[in-house]
A = this chain, B = another copy of it.
Amino acid sequence: MTITMAELALALDARLWGDGAQKVTGAAEAGQAVDGQVSLATTPAYAERLAPGSIAIVAEGMDPDAYGLKAAVLVQRPRVAMASLTRAFDRGLELAPGIHPTAVIDPSAEIGDGAAIGPFVVIGARVRIGSGAQIASHVSIGRDTVIGRDLLAHPGARIAHEVTIGDRVIVHPGCSIGADGFSFVTPEKSGVEEIRETLGERRAIREQHWTRIHSLGGVEIGDDVEIGANTTIDRGTIRATRVGRGTKIDNQVQVGHNCIIGEDVMLCGLVGIAGSARIGNRVVLGGQVGVSDNIFVGDDVIAGGATKIFTNAPAGRVLLGSPAVKMETHVEAQKNIRRLPRLYAQVAELRETVKKLMEKRPDDGSNTKDRSEG
């Protein structure tokens, strides 16, 4: 794709500086652009790497003249501009239109117009997929699953049976939507149940086996959801596990059975959410965050990386640590732990001083009294 800098400025809703007729074929990091590529240099540090005579995207407030540019697009909010820019130049998978002859599609499945379906795709009985689906190689979609329009399924994504997926959903390689929940029961109370009741004390340990609870519920994924590579979202037991509209899920996230994830949520890499937890709207969980089963995380909660949430979290709270506490409590606790060596020294010194104070008062009547009582 080739556009002009003037067209780029228009597309990014940004201000043009210099020669608007300069041609743009792609984008690159400042200092790495080759002929035709527009350099991204929205901070002074990056701008220092710009070659004189090149073309660049810089932030409003920066001076294109100072870098000797031929043309520049000045953006207000660089990351927002990045969204438009990268969308414009993304060539994607370039799947061939139509259905690859090796794909195995059940005759009862309904595929919408404009689909591109790659080699070795398997689509089960009674599946319904909306228009514009792009389904790469090796994807499998189980029986009775219903998917909206403009699905983008990367190679090897696994969508199970009886799953419902909205419009414009993106699923990445190796993700699993709708595998069985991890739900077992022992004929008698298990050690875990006992500990929950007694808070740690265990009575006689009994040898017993795990009996499987099957997963009859499916998974419901809202519109505009994105699901990362090798992420797993298990099906519910009786009703569906749910992921709300607009939620973005990174790679290797685990969402347990029966969970209800809100809208516009962001779950970063390696997050684990145990069964039946409920996550509010616009929640952001950093990498490797954990959420215990059956708890509730309120709207707009933000948890930093590696936070472990064991108990309900009220709306709007910013959490850190393991166990998770309010950000400021965590920062204070860390500071208090770092200062402990000084505290130990102070207390040792105090003990010494007080000991001397006690020793040096043999004439104190009350001390004498203590001795006679002791």
Report which A residues bind B (CB closer than 8 A): 26-29, 32, 40, 77, 79-80, 82-83, 86-87, 89-91, 93-94, 100, 102, 104, 118-120, 122, 124-125, 136-138, 140, 142-143, 154-156, 158, 160-161, 170, 172-174, 176, 179-180, 182, 184-185, 187, 190-192, 195, 199-200, 202, 205, 207-216, 224, 226, 228-230, 232, 234, 237-239, 246, 248, 250-252, 254, 256, 264, 266, 268-270, 272, 274, 281-282, 284, 286-288, 290, 292, 299-300, 302, 305-306, 308, 310, 316, 318, 322-323, 327-328, 331-334, 336-341, 343-344, 346-347, 350-351, 353-354, 356-358, 360, 364-367
Taking a contact as CB atoms closer than 8 A, the residue among B179, B202, B251 that contacts A179 in the complex is B251
Residue pairs across A and B with Cβ atoms less than 8 A apart, 9 shown, are A104-B120, A140-B155, A182-B251, A228-B232, A254-B270, A270-B270, A287-B290, A287-B292, A290-B305
Contact B343 A354 (CB under 8 A): no
Q: Which residues of B have CB within 8 Å of A327?
A: 195, 199-200
Chain copies in the assembled complex: 3
The docked-state distance in angstroms from the alpha carbon of A299 to that of B205 is 10
Contact B310 A308 (CB under 8 A): no
The docked-state distance in angstroms from the alpha carbon of A248 to that of B180 is 12
Provided the pairs A272-B288, A300-B205 are in contact, do residues A337 and B333 lie with their beta carbons within 8 angstroms? yes
Interface of A is mostly: loop
Question: Nearest Cβ distance between residue A313 and chain B, in whole angstroms?
Answer: 14
The docked-state distance in angstroms from the alpha carbon of A210 to that of B267 is 12
Contact B252 A252 (CB under 8 A): yes
Q: Which residues of B have CB within 8 Å of A104?
A: 100, 102, 119-120, 137
Provided the pairs A138-B122, A174-B158 are in contact, do residues A214 and B254 lie with their beta carbons within 8 angstroms? no
Q: Which residues of B have CB within 8 Å of A161?
A: 91, 93-94
The docked-state distance in angstroms from the alpha carbon of A187 to that of B205 is 48
Taking a contact as CB atoms closer than 8 A, the residue among B137, B215, B365 that contacts A140 in the complex is B137
Q: Which residues of B have CB within 8 Å of A90?
A: 214-216
Contact B343 A346 (CB under 8 A): no
